[in-house]
Amino acid sequence: MAEVVEKVYEQVVARNRGETEFHQAVREVLDSLAPVIAKHPHYAEGALLERIVEPERQVIFRIPWVDDAGNVQVNRGFRIEFNSALGPYKGGLRFHPSVNAGIIKFLGFEQIFKNALTNQAIGGGKGGSDFDPHGRSDAEVMRFCQSFMTELSRHIGPSTDVPAGDIGVGGREIGFLFGQYKRLRNSYDAGVLTGKGLAWGGSLVRTEATGYGTVLFAQSMLATRGQSLEGKRVAVSGSGNVAIYAIEKAQQLGATPITFSDSSGYVVDEAGVDLDLLKQVKEVERGRVADYVSRRPGARLVTEGRVWDVPVDVALPCATQNELDGSSAATLLRGGCAVVAEGANMPSTPEAIEAFQAAGILYAPGKAANAGGVATSALEMEQNAGRTRWSFETAEAKLTAIMADIHDSCVAAAEEYGRPGDYVLGANAAGFTRVADVMIAHGVV
C-alpha cells in the first residue's frame, strides 16, 4: 500500500510544481494513510486518493483598488474550494504578502480533515490575498475588501461556501466584506461569513475559540497521563487572536504562559503574561510587542533567536506555518517540554514532528488541536440558520464538548491502526475515513 500512496504523492508534486507547503501537507496525510488503506483496501479504489488531493474548484482573480494617495493598486485573490463531500466549503480568508496558490492549497487541504473531525457537516476550503492590511488606513482596507468581495461574492453562499477570518482578516475586514456581499446580492445572508460582529449575526466564543480549543486539546492530552495544565510553564508564539486566547485559557486552567511574539521578536515575561495589557496593545492599539515591554516591568524583548529557546513544559505554536523547525524542536526537548499543541496551521516542520514523536512527548497537529475555531464557526452558522444567539456559557460548553470528541476520535483511530498515542495518525485517519466514506457514497464526482 505504500507504493499506492507514493504514486499519488508523486502526481501531486508533478501537477503542483513549486508549491512546497502543499506538498508538505499532502505528504503528512498520505504517510498516515498507509495502515488505513492496508486495513481497508477499498479506499485505494476508484481513484479516491487522487480525487481527494485535487481541489474541486480553484478561483484566482485580480483585485484592483485605490489607495489614499489616489494610486491604483493591484493584488491577487484566491479561493480554493477543495472538498464538499461533507457540506459547504468552509475555511478562512488570509490577507498576507506570503499568500500564493500553494499556501492556499495547503490550508484548504488541511481544512478538509480538520472540518471532518468536528463532525459538523462542513467541507474544506480556503482563500485570501497577497494584500497586507498592516499600515493601511481603515478606508484603504475597506476599499480593498469591497473589491475583493465584488469577485468573491459570485462563488460563495450559505449553502455553497462560507469563508471566515484568518491571518490579517479580523472583525474589521469581515465587516467590510459582509457589507459589500449584502450590497451586491441584495440579501441578508448572515450565514455566508463567520466571525461576524455580535450585533449582526456573530457568535459568542468565536473570537476565543481557536486559542481556547488548542489549550483544551492540550489539557485532554495531559489527562491521558494523569496530569493537567495546573502549574505548567507555557511558551506561546504569535500575538494575534489565536495566541491571545490560548494565553487566556491556559491562565484559566492554572498554567503560566510566559511568552508571545510578532515579527519584531519575542517577549519573555517570567511573572506571567499580563493579558489585559497584551489585549490593549494588540487588539485596541494594533501595536507591536515592544509596546508591551515598555509598559511591563520585568518583561524583556528578545530580537535574536526564537521563542522556543525558553525552557517550558508546554509549547503552543500559534503564529504561522513552519515556524518551529527541527533545531527548535531539539531546543524545546532539552528544555523539558513535554507537550506541543498546534494553534496555527502546520507550524511544525516534518523534522520537528519527527523529533517530538521520537521523544515520546504529547504532540497534536493543528488539524486536531486548532479545530475549535472552525467548530465555533459552524456553531455560528447554526445560530444564523435558526435566527438565534446562544449565551457565552452555552457556546463554550459546546466548544468544550467538540474538542473532547475530536481528542477521543484521534485516540481511538490511533489505537485502531496500531499506533496508540500517535495524534498525527489519529487525526489524519479519523478525518480521512469520514470524508472518504461519503465520497464513495456520492459516486465519481
Residue-wise pLDDT tens digits, 283-328: 999 899 999 999 999 999 999 999 999 999 999 999 999 999 999 9
* Helix or strand holding residue 155 (H, E): none
Whether 210 has a binding-site annotation, put simply, is yes
Percent of the chain with pLDDT over 90: 99
The residue type found at 179 is: G
How confident is the model at residue 429, as a pLDDT? 98
Q: In what order do the strands lie in the sheet with 314-316?
A: 256-257, 233-236, 314-316, 339-341, 362-364
How confident is the model at residue 54, as a pLDDT? 98
Decide if 7 is catalytic. Answer: no
Whether 111 has a binding-site annotation, put simply, is yes
How confident is the model at residue 1, as a pLDDT? 60
How confident is the model at residue 163, as a pLDDT? 98
Whether 207 has a binding-site annotation, put simply, is no
Once rounded to an integer, what is the mean pLDDT over residues 118-124? 97
Q: In what order do the strands lie in the sheet with 123-129?
A: 57-66, 72-83, 123-129, 89-95, 161-164
Once rounded to an integer, what is the mean pLDDT over residues 20-41? 95
Point out the catalytic residue in the list 7, 39, 105, 126. Answer: 126
How confident is the model at residue 312, as a pLDDT? 98
Instruction: Set out the domains of the chain in order of their start, with CATH numbers.
Output: 55-187 (3.40.50.10860), 209-369 (3.40.50.720)
Entry pTM: 0.94
Q: How many helices (H) and strands (E) does the chain have?
A: 16, 13
Whether 384 has a binding-site annotation, put simply, is no
Residue 88 is classified by DSSP as S
Nearest to 5 by CA among 55, 53, 63: 53
